[in-house]
Structure formats: C-alpha cells, structure tokens
Amino acid sequence: MRTTILSLLLLSSLHAYPQFLVSKTATISFFSSTPVEDIAAVSKTGSSAINPKTGDILFKVNNTSFRFEKKMMQEHFNENYMESDRYPTSEFRGKITDPVDYSKAGTYQVTVKGTLNVHGVTKSYQVPATLTVNGTQISAACTFNVSVADHKIKIPSLVIKNIAEVMQVKVSATYQKN
C-alpha cells in the first residue's frame, strides 16, 4: 500500500509542471516627484512567476490594488488615469537573459527583456535587475522608469505640475518553489 502511494506521488510529481518559482506577494510601487508634490502608491498583492529553466518571467498586478496615502488620489488613479474598469491589470512578460544558478547562493545582476502592458498599451523594456538566491529563498528586485505618455495616459493641464511625466517603478518579489 505504502509503495503504491509513493509511486503514485512520484508519478504525479513527474507529470507536474516544471518547477516554477512563484510569488503572490510581489511589491510593486511607483513614485512621482514634482516640485509641487510627491505621490507614491504601492501594491503588495502583485504576483510573479519565473521558469528557472527558460528564464521566462511574468509579473502581474491588479491596478485597483495600489494604495495611495490620499484615498481621493487612489480613486482618480483608477477612474481617470488607469481606467481600471477597462484595463484591470498591468503586466510584464519577459525573459531573464543572463544565466542564473538557482541552486547556488549569491547575488546575480541580470538583464530582463520583455514587454510591459499598462493601460492597454504595450511597450518593450530592457532593464537591469538583481536576483538573490539564499538557500531555498529566491528574491528579485528591479527599478525602472516608465513614461506616462508611452502608455497613453493623459495628464490634464490643470494638474500637470502635480504629476510627473516619468514614474519611478520599483518591483520586488520573494519566490517560493511551486
């Protein structure tokens, strides 16, 4: 009986997906700075997955999960800028182009190449990122700039002094083996 269960388990593990690295608590934040005001928003419920074999990487975040200090800004963000009803998620699909040994502890400086989809508009990016392997814990961090105009997000002239044209986006995630 025991051996049957064991062999069944073995079989099922063989048929499972290749072992992905998954994070459901990815932190994604953006920061806008102008002489008039600084605006920051953060989502701690982003999700990300890495296929360690191919280097494929995916980041996904619900636009309504971004939290602002001022709730009214949050409402404006979803209603007027991101149009979260029409474009509920923002995502990045790409590939880690440098080799990483996920079984060896260390910090890896890598390049991530792919496309970012925000507000229904896709744009190619190539950004440096840091991968840290520490035993079974693997984490990733990356900072890059996104131009609001690139994603066809219009800032009305009335608030043009309050909202930066380029946002600094920070992404970090700690992965578990799936």
Count Cα neighbours of 28 within 13 Å in the Cβ-side half-sphere.
24
- Supply the minimum distance, in Å, between the C-beta of residue 5 and other proteins: 25
Residue type (1 letter), 147: S
Tell whether residue 141 is a contact of other proteins (CB under 8 A).
no
State whether residue 64 is helix, strand or coil: helix
Q: Is 55 left (phi over 0), alpha (psi -120 to 50) or beta?
A: left
Nearer to other proteins, 1 or 99 (CB): 99
Neighbours of 72 (CB within 10 A): 8
Q: Which residue in the set 76, 122, 139, 174 belongs to the binding site for other proteins (CB under 8 A)?
A: 76
Tell whether residue 100 is a contact of other proteins (CB under 8 A).
no
Residues in contact with other proteins by the rule CB under 8 A = 17-18, 20, 22, 24, 38, 40, 42, 47-51, 54, 56-58, 60, 62, 64, 69-72, 74-76, 78-80, 83, 85-86, 93, 95, 156, 158-159, 178
